[in-house]
């Protein structure tokens, strides 16, 4: 009994300390992000996105290509190339298609040069093909939101981030205080169905706040429907990244953000939410 109580107290203090560190990180980072979104030119926001792509790709390739710095470096360059191609050539089909075809070809060929252990060669080949699209392709959409959808571009970026982060917050508290039924135990043992519902509620709060406050161009009905889709995909993105880490035997993708682990740990939901918001805009309105 005493041992169990001590363990529970220790877990509580660790969780409280981690939450405090997360809040402090957010208090420092949020003003910087908002400043870049609203007051800096779109290219400045893209530079931050490109840097995040590079770091997140480095985290993935460190998991899939352990010890092979050359292959990791090539993978990061391929990811940046994909990001640059999508950002600068999204209106030029031939150039964009060239980037999207050359990068997977490179990913398929690198393992022939950097053979390493044969049993992991297939994994490394698929990681080289898919990671530039998973990271560079999906994450760059949040830079396109800022650049191509003025005068509300910055607001749509805020909406995207709050879909993911308020969803994460709602899921955390609902799961902690109400969670009883496991969501997908083999992939993420701590996630619960109650937390999933809490995450959807958090995303709906984000959508309602946007429509009623800082993004009047977004109808409330659209905001709530988008919130449900984005919230669901954000949770699935989190599970996908958990599956990647679990299969690689690591707890966090990195350590660069205090209280959050790696860049990929913080952006796993954004990777799927941002493309959904961009697709919504592409199909419902013309870019500015």
Range of the domain at 126: 42-148
Per the omega criterion (within 30 degrees of 0), is the bond before 92 cis? no
pLDDT at residue 34, rounded to an integer: 86
Q: Which of 103, 120, 148 is the last residue of a domain?
A: 148
Top pLDDT among 76 and 11 is at 76
- pLDDT score for 7: 44
Is 178 inside a domain boundary? yes
Instruction: Determine the 3-state secondary structure of 158 from DSSP.
Output: helix
What letters, b where the CB count within 10 A reaches 16 and e where it falls short, cover 6-26?
Answer: eeeeeeeeeeeeeeeebeeee
Of 177, 180, 176, 174, nearest to 203 by C-alpha is 174
**Residue 284 maps to a domain:** yes
- Same domain (yes/no): 173, 129: no
CA distance 233 to 44: 28
Domain ends where: 128, 148, 168? 148
The rounded distance, in Å, linking the Cα atoms of 57 and 87 is 17
How confident is the model over 134-177, as pLDDT tens digits? 999 999 999 999 999 999 999 999 999 999 989 999 998 998 89
Q: What percent of the chain has pLDDT over 90?
A: 73
Count of residues making up the chain: 288
Q: Do residues 166 and 285 share a domain? A: yes
Examine the domain organization and report whether 283 and 157 are in the same domain: yes
How many other C-beta atoms can be found within 10 angstroms of the C-beta atom of residue 80? Answer: 19
C-alpha 119/C-alpha 226 separation (Å) is: 42
Per DSSP, the three-state class of 184 is strand
Is residue 197 domain-shared with residue 286, that is, in the same domain? yes
How far from the centroid of its chain's Cα atoms is residue 66's Cα? 22
Average the pLDDT over 1-16 and give the result.
48
Q: Tell me: do 144 and 155 sit in the same domain.
A: no
- Say whether pLDDT at 75 is over 80: yes
Residues 246 and 139 in one domain: no
Burial class for 49, CB neighbours closer than 10 Å (0-12, 13-18, 19+): buried
- Which has the higher per-residue pLDDT, 252 or 177? 177
Q: Which two tokens stand for residue 150?
A: 């003025």
| Residue 16 domain flag | no
Which of the listed residues 93, 123, 148 is the one where a domain comes to its end? 148
Does residue 120 sit in the same domain as residue 212?
no
Q: Which of 14-28, 52-66, 156-170, 251-265 has the lowest mean pLDDT?
A: 14-28
Q: Are residues 156 and 178 in the same domain?
A: yes
- State the pLDDT at residue 90: 85
CA distance 143 to 173: 30
Lowest mean pLDDT among 2-11, 111-120, 148-157, 273-282: 2-11
| Residue 241, pLDDT score | 92
Q: Are residues 197 and 90 in the same domain?
A: no
């Amino acid at each position: 009994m005493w041992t169990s109580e001590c363990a529970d107290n220790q877990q509580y203090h660790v969780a409280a300390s981690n939450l405090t560190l997360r809040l402090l990180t957010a208090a420092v980072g949020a003003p910087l992000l908002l400043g870049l979104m609203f007051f800096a030119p779109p290219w400045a926001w893209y530079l931050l996105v490109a840097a995040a792509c590079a770091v997140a790709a480095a985290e993935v390739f460190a998991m899939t290509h352990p010890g092979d710095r050359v292959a990791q470096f090539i993978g990061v360059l391929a990811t940046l190339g994909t990001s640059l191609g999508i950002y600068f050539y999204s209106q030029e089909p031939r150039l964009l298609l060239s980037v999207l075809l050359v990068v997977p070809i490179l990913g398929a060929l690198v393992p022939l040069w950097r053979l390493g252990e044969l049993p992991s060669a297939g994994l490394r080949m698929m990681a080289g093909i898919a990671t530039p699209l998973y990271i560079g392709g999906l994450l760059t959409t949040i830079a396109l939101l800022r650049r191509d959808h003025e005068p509300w571009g910055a607001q749509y970026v805020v909406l995207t981030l709050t879909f993911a982060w308020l969803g994460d917050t709602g899921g955390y508290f609902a799961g902690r205080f109400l969670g009883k039924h496991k969501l997908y135990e083999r992939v993420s043992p701590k996630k619960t169905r109650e937390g999933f519902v809490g995450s959807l509620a958090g995303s709906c709060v984000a959508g309602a706040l946007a429509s009623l406050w800082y993004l009047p161009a977004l109808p409330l009905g659209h905001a709530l429907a988008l919130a449900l889709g984005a919230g669901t995909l954000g949770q699935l993105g989190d599970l996908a990244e958990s599956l990647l880490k679990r299969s690689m035997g690591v707890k966090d993708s990195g350590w660069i953000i205090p209280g959050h682990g790696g860049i990929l740990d913080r952006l796993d939901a954004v990777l799927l939410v941002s493309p959904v918001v961009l697709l919504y805009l592409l199909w419902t309105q013309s870019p500015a």
